[in-house]
Structure 1
């Protein structure tokens, strides 16, 4: 059970870092056309898309807060896994 807990927490950490890398890459114009960005986007969009859709009612302007909200949700899930398992 301990191995499962560690594996799940590490997986959530990797996903969190991919979201951070994707957000940083979005600041550079040519980076969004790269293959790395496309791969990271395909892996993180299932997590960010529902958050982006829910936040669309409250978001005004060009700033997308869905990566930050997604990271917070992943951190909460990680903490729950650490306490429950």
Structure 2
């Protein structure tokens, strides 16, 4: 596997973990503060398009965009793995 493939693979993995951490931080009473803002700045370009498409069809109180973003990143990670082998 080439260096670019390994970097892309780990980038998608790190982004998935950042989304998970940010999602768990929404359960904190303080909201996370500046650290949450940094994580939100990183993940918002990924989650925002998914959220805008989802709100056209659903209007529930639960935001599933982090879960869909993680699934999309997993799919892209597997595609990158197959392309760069």
- Sort the TM-score into its range (normalised by shorter chain): over 0.9
Q: Which runs of 4+ in 1 moved over 4 A?
A: none
Q: Which residue number corresponds to residue 73 of structure 1? A: 72
* Unpaired runs of at least 5, structure 1: none
The Cα RMSD (Å) is: 1.1
Q: How far does the alpha carbon of each residue in 1:27-85 deviate from its partner, in whole angstroms, 9 at most, with x for none? A: 112124x1100000000000000000011122232100000000000000000000011
* Unpaired runs of at least 5, structure 2: none
CA–CA distance in structure 2, aligned partners of residues 84 and 69 of structure 1? 22
Pairs aligned (count): 84
Higher relative contact order (CA 8 A, sep 6+): 2
Instruction: Please give the TM-score of this superposition, normalised by the length of structure 1.
Output: 0.93
